[in-house]
Amino acid sequence: MSANFADELPAKVPGEIPLFPLGTVLFPGGLLPLKVFEQRYVDMTKACLRDNTPFGVCLIREGHEVGLPAASHVVGCLAHIAQWDVPHPNLFAVLARGSTRFRILDTTVAGNGLITARIETLPEPTQPDSVDSACQEVLRLAVERAGVDSVPGPVRLDDPVWVSYRLAEILPISAQQKQALLELTDTEARLAQLRELLLAHGIIENINKNN
C-alpha cells in the first residue's frame, strides 16, 4: 500500500507535536526519506497520516536515533508526510517535506519512549532583495551537475531563502553547522555564513579558477 498526499490540503499544525530526533537537520522545503520501524514511530506515523498532522524533526544533542529517548536541540522543522509506503508489516517508507521552523517549549515522554513537545512556530525568514551571487552560482552549478531532481523543486535560484536552505543542505559541513544555519531567521546572515563556509572549503576559489 502506498499513497501520495503532496497535493492535498496542508496538514494542520497543532500546539503539541510528536518529535522524531534524528542525526540530521531538516530545512523548510527540504525532503527527508525515512525508514520507520521502531514501534513508537510506527504509531506516530499512523497517527500523523490519520489526522493529517506533522511531526517535528530535531537534531539530536545527546543520545541516539534508536533506543532510549534522545535529547534534541530546541529548534527544529515541522515535517509533513508527502509520500508513504508499507513494504513490510510495521515498516513505513516515508518521504517527509519540511515546512515551518519551530521552537520546543517543553516536552513529555510517553511510556513507549515517544517524545511529545509543546511548540511555538518561528517567524518566516526575512526575504532580501537579492541573492548572494556566490551562493547562487555554487547552487546553480550543483543542480546543473546533479540534475534538477537532486533538489526539492521547483528550482528557484532567484529566491534568497530557497537558495540559502538548499545550499545549507548540500554543503559538506557538520550537522551542528547546519543546525546553526537553521536557527537563523535573518536570510542575509545565513547567506553570509554560507559564503564564509564556501571560502573556508575553497569552493568559491575553485569555481573562479574553473571559470
Rounded CA-CA distance 204/88 in Å is: 45
**Whole-number pLDDT of residue 102:** 97
**Whole-number pLDDT of residue 69:** 79
E-only strand ranges, 89-200:
91-109, 115-121
Residue 1 confidence (pLDDT) above 90: no
Average pLDDT over residues 51-69: 86
Q: What is the pLDDT of residues 95-137, one digit of tens each?
A: 999 999 999 999 999 999 999 999 999 999 999 999 999 999 9
Average pLDDT over residues 145-160: 91
3 state SS of 182:
helix
Closest listed residue to residue 184, CA positions, set 104, 134, 123: 123
E-only strand ranges, the chain:
2-4, 16-22, 31-36, 55-62, 71-72, 75-88, 91-109, 115-121
How large a percentage of the chain has pLDDT more than 90?
A: 77
- 71-72 and 91-109 beta bridge pairing: unpaired
Q: Where are the domains of the chain?
A: 2-121, 133-210
Could you tell me which residue, 106 or 2, shows the higher pLDDT? 106
Instruction: Label residue 5 by pLDDT band (50, 70, 90).
Output: very low
How large a percentage of the chain has pLDDT more than 70?
A: 88
User: Own/partner pairs for 190-193, CB < 8 Å, 24+ apart?
Assistant: 190/125, 190/164, 191/128, 191/131, 191/132, 191/135, 191/160, 191/163, 191/164, 192/132
Q: Does the fold of domain 133-210 match that of domain 2-121?
A: no
Tell me yes or no: is domain 133-210 CATH 1.10.4060.
yes
When computed from its CA atoms, the radius of gyration of the chain, rounded to whole angstroms, is 18
Residue 65 confidence (pLDDT) above 90: no
Average pLDDT, the chain: 89
Rounded CA-CA distance 197/46 in Å is: 40
Retrieve residue 201's grid coordinates: 572549503
pTM: 0.88
CATH topology of domain 2-121: 2.30.130
3 state SS of 2:
strand
